[in-house]
């Protein structure tokens, strides 16, 4: 056994990976010129600023500054240590890793929450065993069988059962050496106020594990078996590890299929996701409740272009569809709505009408969002009466005004005109007034955004000296021969701390015999801020065929910088000093520096 992965093995894995393939499993990338672009997974954005270079095997976000290679991407996205990232990516290559004497789950990153993952993993296995193999799970097995759950579904989604006991799980976990306080913090058990002893939070419930993005169980959702008991559904409490607003149920399992179809089906909860999966819709995820968050919408946007909303067809479900559609559209997604008949939820429909009809009649025959809105706005109205008809048309015009394309607006205006025998000119006049108000609001928001971007751009402006140091480091990252020439001419005379550090590390990197390889160099950078800066500079397109004069102009900026700084300081001193001799001395030094700078030109 080895205590570490050899450097040569890491390099072999890195060179065998394609960063575009790795990141494409997490982010939807599109080719643009020489690079690939997508929405950054590390901060919220509507316009792609995340760039991936296949040539350089690097990524960089021009919005938040995140950058690195395939290893650092997986580390940052999945919250893994370097060794964990290597072990995760190695199976994508033909490189065999040595067996480590220190297991990956002993890493510092995992240690902080080890009790959390261990507790949930043990609980999931116990609940699943109780459901599938014990007498205590018989009632739950029969219930699920009646609901159409097959053994394959139960195993794939690790469904379990928590017995009607106050101490079944807590006793089991304590015997496995887990602390009651840790398990209470996880939400697996509660602590009695009287004596502090643990008790099971989940009792007599069908248990649905909830996974994080990496597929680790971090929470549970429990559905009560007794129809008279409350609440019907009980989720683990939110915490530092589990926040239901930042997760989608079964996202880790559905993501590859979602990306392949460039489409996701969004359900309300886990039972609908599982039932749809049995019907062949394996690209569905659940919102863990009716209220969708911006964070969940962004998760979807990074992976697909279109979402099919498939919520219950009752009033609450339709209201949630309307609200969540707006959140999804705001995130930049195309939204359509499943054609679920009134009175059904997805699970009911699949059980009563069958999987094929669900796929063909509900999912594949989805309706546009505007068609859904039209149906929803008609609910509770008698459009044969003048008051309800006018109210409906006013509401529809407001929705038509939100449409971005003139062709769409014209289509729905004509439809409204035909449905109610109203002049299209009158409707267009009303629409133009609504759009004028909307345009005014949009202009105000655009002005604010332009102002904020202008301020941000101003902050990124560099003086001639810093621009020279940045450019030289960029050249060094992309050419060993240029780096060697810079070392001879400049050495350690970079003035700004971060460039000084990168220069020293690059001299060392090339001095050890490495060829030009920005991705490999980034692996050596432990400081996150240096890694981000190096990734940003390495992604720049530069002309490596520089003339000697161009290169020496950059050297001159750096050599003259200390003199220019001294000149500034002396001028300040000259204004403050009153002694004639001292003023003469400063004035002479100023003159001497000015002559040096003049000669240098």
Q: Which of 386, 532, 581, 391 is nearest to 63 (CA)?
A: 532
Cβ burial of 559 (10 Å; 0-12, 13-18, 19+) is middle
Residues forming beta bridges with residue 368, ordered by sequence position: 336
| Res 109: pLDDT | 39
Q: Is 402 helix (H, G, I), strand (E, B) or coil?
A: coil
Residues contacting 398, CB < 8 A, separation 6+: 434
Structure token pair of residue 344: 């059904």
CA distance 180 to 201: 13
| Res 112: pLDDT | 65
List domains and CATH numbers for the chain: 7-111 (3.90.580.10), 115-241 (3.90.980.10), 246-378 (3.40.1360.10), 386-459 (no CATH), 464-600 (1.10.860.10)
| Res 106: pLDDT | 42
Residue position matching structure tokens 């069988």 = 145
Q: Which of 505, 506, 524 is nearest to 515 (CA)?
A: 506
CB atoms within 10 A of CB 143: 14
Query: What is the pairing mode between strands 160-162 and 205-211?
Result: antiparallel
pLDDT in tens, 533-546: 888 898 888 888 87
Q: Is 463 helix (H, G, I), strand (E, B) or coil?
A: coil
Q: Which of 351, 355, 258, 345 is nearest to 308 (CA)?
A: 258
**Segments of the chain with pLDDT less than 70:** 1-3, 100-112, 290, 442-462, 597, 600-601
CA distance 246 to 210: 12
CA distance 371 to 399: 11
| Res 107: pLDDT | 42
| Res 288: pLDDT | 85
| Dihedral sign, Cα of residue 72, residue 76, residue 82, residue 86 | negative
The pTM (predicted TM-score) of the whole model is 0.71
DSSP string, 43-54: S--SS--EEEET
Q: Which helix (H) or strand (E) holds 15?
A: helix 7-16
pLDDT in tens, 232-265: 889 999 888 898 899 999 999 998 899 889 999 9
């Amino acid at each position: 056994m080895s205590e570490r992965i050899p450097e040569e093995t890491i390099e072999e894995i890195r060179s065998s990976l394609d960063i575009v393939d790795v990141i494409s499993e997490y982010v939807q990338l599109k080719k643009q010129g020489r690079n690939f672009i997508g929405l950054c997974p590390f901060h919220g954005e509507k316009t792609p600023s995340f760039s991936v270079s296949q040539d350089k095997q690097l990524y960089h976000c021009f919005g938040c500054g995140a950058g690195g290679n395939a290893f650092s991407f997986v580390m940052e996205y999945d919250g893994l240590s370097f060794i964990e990232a290597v072990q995760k990516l190695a199976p994508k290559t033909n490189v065999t890793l040595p067996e480590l004497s220190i297991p990956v789950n002993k890493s510092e990153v995992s240690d902080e929450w080890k009790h959390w993952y261990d507790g949930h993993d043990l609980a999931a296995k116990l609940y699943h065993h109780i459901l599938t193999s014990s007498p205590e799970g018989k009632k739950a097995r029969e219930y699920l069988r009646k609901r159409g759950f097959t053994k394959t579904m139960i195993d794939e989604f690790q469904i379990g059962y928590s017995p009607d006991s106050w101490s079944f799980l807590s006793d089991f976990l304590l015997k496995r050496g887990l602390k009651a306080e840790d398990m209470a913090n996880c939400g697996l058990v509660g602590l009695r106020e009287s004596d502090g002893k643990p008790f099971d939070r989940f009792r007599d419930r069908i248990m649905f594990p909830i996974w994080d993005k990496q597929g680790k169980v971090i929470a549970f959702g429990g559905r009560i078996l007794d129809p008279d008991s409350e609440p019907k559904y009980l989720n683990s409490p939110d915490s530092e590890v589990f926040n239901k607003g930042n997760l989608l149920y079964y996202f880790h399992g559905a993501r590859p299929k979602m990306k392949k179809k460039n489409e996701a089906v969004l359900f309300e909860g886990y039972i609908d996701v599982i039932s749809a999966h049995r019907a062949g819709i394996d690209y569905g995820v659940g919102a863990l409740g009716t209220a969708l968050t911006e964070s969940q919408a962004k998760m979807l946007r990074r992976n697909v272009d279109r979402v099919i909303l498939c919520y219950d067809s009752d009033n609450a479900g339709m209201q949630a569809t309307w609200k969540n559609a707006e959140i999804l559209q705001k995130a930049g997604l195309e939204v359509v709505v499943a054609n679920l008949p009134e009175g059904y939820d997805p699970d009911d429909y699949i059980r009563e009408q069958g999987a094929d009809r669900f796929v063909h009649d509900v999912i594949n025959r989805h309706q546009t969002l505007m068609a859904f809105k039209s149906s929803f706005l008609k609910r509770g109205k008698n459009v044969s009466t003048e008051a309800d008809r006018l109210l409906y048309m006013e509401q529809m015009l407001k929705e038509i005004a939100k449409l971005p394309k003139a062709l769409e607006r014209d289509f729905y205006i004509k439809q409204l005109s035909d449905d109610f025998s109203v002049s299209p000119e009158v409707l267009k006049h009303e629409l133009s007034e609504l759009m004028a108000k909307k345009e005014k609001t949009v202009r105000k928001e655009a002005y604010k955004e332009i102002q904020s971007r202008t301020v941000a751009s101003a902050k990124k402006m560099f003086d001639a000296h810093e621009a020279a140091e940045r450019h030289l480091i960029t050249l060094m990252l992309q050419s060993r021969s240029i780096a060697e020439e810079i070392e001879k001419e400049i050495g350690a005379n970079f003035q700004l701390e971060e460039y000084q550090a990168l220069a020293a590390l690059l001299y060392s990197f090339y001095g050890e015999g490495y060829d030009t390889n920005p991705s490999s160099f980034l692996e050596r950078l432990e400081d996150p801020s240096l890694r981000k800066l190096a990734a940003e500079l390495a992604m720049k397109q530069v002309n490596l065929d520089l003339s000697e004069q161009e290169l020496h102009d950059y050297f001159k900026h750096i050599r003259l910088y200390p003199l220019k700084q001294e000149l500034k300081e002396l001028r300040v001193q000259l204004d403050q000093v009153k002694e004639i001799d001292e003023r003469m001395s400063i004035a002479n030094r100023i003159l001497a520096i000015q002559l040096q700078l003049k000669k240098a030109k």
